Amino acid sequence: MGSVDLWLLLAVVLLATTVQNIVGFGFALLAVPLMALFIDTHDGVVIANFLGFMSSSFQAWSGRREADYAVVRRLSFSCLLGIPLGLVVFSSVDVQVLKVLLGVGVLCSVVLLVKGSTLSNTRGWLEWVAGILSGALAASLSTNGPPLVFALQGRKMPIARFRATISMIFTVSGVLTLTSFALLRKVTQDQLVASLSAVPVLLGGIFLGRRLQRLVNETASRQFVLALLTVAGISALIAGLSG
């Protein structure tokens, strides 16, 4: 990875970490399609999993008293069921096809998140489907947030409980996904070096995002995230189609 790519990576990590710590999700959804514009998509998925796990772990620990542990257990277990499917996609799909899938997936996620805000309740079957889909997306594209957000929308959780609950699920899913990557030898030295290089920026994004939590209106921040996701999804789609 060249110096320009590294600086671009650090900028993406700062943006994605700040957003995640404001609204509770969005790290990989923003980071992976933007990383795919200047580094290999497979590398971006692994790096995003490493850094997303670190960010989620911090949020999960700081909000551990707010989390809904029954929901965490149910969705974490269903995520486990979806990870093997995601690993098959990650290992067998061509980079350009992966970019197209990433772009389409992110744009579909935007639609899902918008429609999810109209849910009035959440049934058990929806949580199981969302968890399995989230696990598959975590291992293939690292964009596992939207199914979980969709499933949790209907519970009308306060924002603090929502952030803590989804962060715990992300943390569990991250451990399982990274362990699977390591066992399948999908983790390279360059990916580890890039991830470690971004840790100081990640910590800065965590600090900035937590400060902005108090200043940014929840509705406005959600609209901002959806706008960023739309741009990121279109960018990844164009990059995949253009080769």
Residue 142, sorted as left (phi over 0), alpha (psi -120 to 50) or beta, turns out to be left
Instruction: Please give the C-alpha separations between residue 101 and each of 18, 53, 116, in angstroms, as whole numbers.
Output: 25, 22, 21
Q: What is the pLDDT of residue 151?
A: 77
Domain count, the chain: 1
Quote the domain boundaries for residue 56: 3-242
Question: What does each of the 243 residues of the chain score in pLDDT, given as a tens digit?
Answer: 677 889 999 999 999 999 888 877 778 888 888 898 888 888 999 999 999 899 889 889 988 899 999 899 999 999 999 999 889 988 888 877 877 887 787 788 778 777 765 444 545 677 888 889 889 888 888 878 778 877 776 677 777 888 889 999 999 999 999 999 999 888 999 999 999 999 999 999 999 988 887 776 667 766 776 777 787 778 778 877 876
The type of residue at 52 is G
